[in-house]
Structure 1
């Protein structure tokens, strides 16, 4: 699966990141179908937009990105969207949690790109 042509949902409580990520992804041919700021919003958005890819911030204020990832997995969608965790924190801070989650992987926010997404999708 290649990132170009994908439909992406961004789950992040930072408006600034959502705007920047949307611009970056859309410039690379990824359609951003929406954004969500909480677990409840994310589940509603996944159900209504049926994205191919969901980028989930690990720290959503009162919600955990890990909880969002597992709730999306529990939806048992067919086809299931690829889910990638993102954060401004170092990957090592969450390595065990990322590994044990159903997420495809982790990307630092400052490394977000279509190329980095493609690398994770090829795993």
Structure 2
């Protein structure tokens, strides 16, 4: 599985990359802004894109919509929203999002990502 990480924390990006790569996920890129994310998704064509819901003033929910919009040729790559906040804090926004699912950052794992990607394909 090839993954792109989008988070505004360089420290979290490094930690998430190390964890996922230990579990067999190829982290093909790490970016901190929505604009970088749009460019990298188009260039790298990851199998899944993990998007923090709060990107230092930018909305991860908006980015998820942009990444999955109908006019993007790379829109078929699933997006998973991530946050250090509980899903309960954003339940309505998560449910109305085009994302394949949500992961609390403390529950990040290759298995959790694969499970959401598989469930999103049903």
Secondary structure, in 3 states, of the residue corresponding to 1:24? Answer: helix
Cross-structure match for 2:29: 34
* Alignment-derived partner of residue 9 in structure 1: 4
Q: Which moved more, 1:82-91 or 1:112-121?
A: 112-121
Deviates more, 1:112-121 or 1:15-24: 112-121
Q: TM-score, normalised on structure 1?
A: 0.91
Residue 48 (structure 1) aligns with = 43
Runs (5+) with no aligned partner, structure 2: none
Residue-pair matches, total: 118
Query: CA RMSD, aligned part only?
Result: 1.2
Moved over 4 A (4+): none
Give the structure 1 partner of residue 93 of structure 2.
97
1:28, distance to aligned residue in structure 2 (A)? 1.2
TM-score, normalising length from structure 2?
0.91
Structure 1: tracts of 5 or more residues without a match = 1-5
Q: Of the candidates 57, 62, 68, which is equivalent to residue 62 of structure 1?
A: 57
Structure possessing the higher relative contact order (Cα contacts under 8 Å, 6 or more residues apart): 1
